[in-house]
Amino acid sequence: MHNLTVTLIQQPLAWLDAKANRQHFADLIAPLAGKTELIILPEMFTTGFSMDPTAVAEPMAGETLQWLTKQAAKSGAAITGSFTVQEGDKYYNRMVFMKPDGEYHCYDKRHLFRMGNEHHHYQSGHERLIVDYLGWRICPMVCYDLRFPVWSRNGYNESQNDYDLLIFVANWPQPRRQHWLSLLRARAIENLSFVAGVNRLGTDGNGLEYSGNSMLFDAWGDEMINTESEANSFTQTLDYQALRKYRKQFPAHLDADTFNLTTG
């Protein structure tokens, strides 16, 4: 199994301006061609965290999906992030994992942020997603999902864990910065997995401030990337054999409680 090179892109977002955000990220992705295998963008990377989905939603096959297809092909890397998708009369905060060959997978945010009334405007997802990519098993999740450890619990079936890399994309405000940092580390330790969290910077149209603090942790809970509040792209290679060795030396997953999760 080969290692996986991952890039976290932490940036401010132009409020409700999908065209400007797509162009900005395209300019940042271009120099990464051939240098990384997975690029992670923030939650609602085309618009910021808007609770007016009628103003920002796209059809699934709209401009952002076409943009992701093009950028993944040009860069030779998978790209993932979330944006607002309309299906019929329903709206979803949908995370897309786009592979370089044009194959893609979707995850709809399960836990909608009640304190921001997201649950009044968006439809909750009901299925967890595990993506197989270059031999790695990757679990994509969105922002508020981070607070719910049962949903992100790493299972163990047929001699393998459910996933090797857990991803959270977010618009996580600065006042709850310590929650973000603490929970990302906890998810890595308890799930014996690499964990990447990509947040935005700047101030949105509602006056909320974002400090970034995008992070990458190994399965020990040690920092591999700590972006603090720098607007940049951050690349690191994940060592699969080191992960496998740690899981063998400290197989806590073999003593985990079993349960069935019912979603509705």
Contact present, 210 and 173 (Cβ < 8 Å): yes
Query: Known catalytic residue: 143?
Result: yes
Select which of 106, 118, 143, 190 is catalytic.
143
**SS3 assignment for 88-138:** CCEEEEEEEEECCCCCEEEEECCCCCHHHCHHHHCCCCCCCCCEEECCEEE
Query: Known catalytic residue: 43?
Result: yes
SS3 153: coil
SS3 146: helix
Nearest Cα to Cα of residue 27 among 67, 82, 81: 67
CB atoms inside a 10 Å sphere around CB 149: 13
> What is the rounded CA–CA span in Å between residue 128 and residue 151?
8
Which residues contact residue 48 at a Cβ distance below 8 angstroms, ignoring those fewer than 6 apart? 13, 14, 15, 16, 171, 200, 204, 205
Select which of 37, 58, 106, 109 is catalytic.
109
Select which of 37, 43, 58, 190 is catalytic.
43
Nearest Cα to Cα of residue 116 among 81, 143, 94: 143
User: Residue 213: how many CA atoms within 13 Å on its side-chain side?
Assistant: 18
Which residue numbers are catalytic? 43, 109, 143
